[in-house]
């Protein structure tokens, strides 16, 4: 076997130890001149130019330091913008909360009235469903005729619809209740725990 045939194999074996399972390596050169490589971008390579190589040592692509830094800066800028936007939204919610309720008692009163109204709607739907079930069950006690069968089927459809309405309204009630609880806690934070806007 000639040296020209052996050389690529030797070079490859020396450059990339067989214990590395990754198909690619990311490498960069530190200020000291030492080369650092890893399956993913090493921490020491952040902000530096680096290359991505295959398992044979062939360079697949080169990344300039400017590109790496610009990507990090762009990501940080995006996160900062999102954070600022969220803080602005929170400030708007806080102002609306304070302007709507002059005291914690007024907040609780309004919240309780809304929840009570929602509960009344749920109870009304439950009552209507029970009446429909009672009427249907009375029909079932008698001999089933084609006409009564049709009426029973209609009652079943109505009862099914009431169940859906009750479930939906109950979910909405619970969600609103949770939101009100968050608003109550936030109101106390904004008013220093005394529940009075004029003490801000």
Please state whether 173 falls in left (phi above 0), alpha (psi between -120 and 50) or beta: alpha
Q: Which two tokens stand for residue 72?
A: 């990090």
DSSP state at residue 128? H
The CA distance from 188 to 96, in Å, is 14
For residue 56, the SS3 value is coil
190, two tokens: 């904004």
**Hey, what are 146's tokens?**
């084609």
Q: Is 155 exposed, middle or buried (0-12, 13-18, 19+ CB in 10 A)?
A: buried
Bridge partners of 28, per DSSP, are 36
Element holding 175 (H helix, E strand): helix 146-190
Residues 6+ apart with CB under 8 A from 188: 104, 195
Q: Per-residue pLDDT tens for 85-96?
A: 999 999 999 999
Q: Which stretches of the chain score pLDDT less than 50? A: 1-21, 199-200
Q: Which two tokens stand for residue 99?
A: 């302007």
| Structure tokens that stand for 96 in this block | 């609306």
User: Residue written as tokens 């090493």?
Assistant: 42
CA–CA dist 16, 10 (Å, integer): 10
Q: What is the pLDDT of residue 137?
A: 95
What is the pLDDT at residue 195?
63
| 176 vs 118: CA distance, rounded Å | 10
Which pLDDT belongs to residue 154? 96
The closest alpha carbon to 114, from 188, 177, 184, belongs to 177
What pLDDT sits at residue 6? Answer: 39
The confidence score (pLDDT) of residue 176 equals: 96
């Amino acid at each position: 076997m000639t040296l020209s045939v052996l050389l690529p194999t030797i070079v490859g074996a020396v450059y990339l130890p067989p214990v590395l399972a990754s198909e690619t390596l990311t490498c960069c050169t530190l200020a000291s001149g030492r080369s650092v490589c890893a399956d993913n971008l090493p921490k020491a390579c952040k902000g530096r130019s680096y290359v991505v190589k295959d398992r044979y040592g062939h360079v697949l692509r080169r990344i300039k330091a400017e590109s790496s830094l610009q990507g990090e800066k762009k990501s940080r800028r995006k996160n900062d913008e999102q954070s600022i936007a969220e803080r602005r939204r929170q400030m708007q919610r806080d102002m609306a909360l304070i302007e709507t309720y002059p005291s914690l008692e007024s907040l609780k009163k309004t919240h309780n009235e809304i929840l009570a109204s929602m509960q009344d709607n749920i109870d009304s739907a439950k009552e209507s469903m029970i009446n429909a079930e009672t009427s249907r069950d009375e029909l079932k006690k008698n001999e089933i005729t084609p006409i009564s069968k049709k009426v029973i089927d209609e009652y079943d459809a109505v009862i099914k619809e009431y169940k859906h309405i009750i479930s939906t309204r109950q979910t909405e009630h619970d969600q609103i209740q949770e939101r009100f609880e968050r608003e109550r806690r936030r109101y106390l934070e904004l008013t220093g725990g005394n529940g009075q806007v004029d003490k801000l």
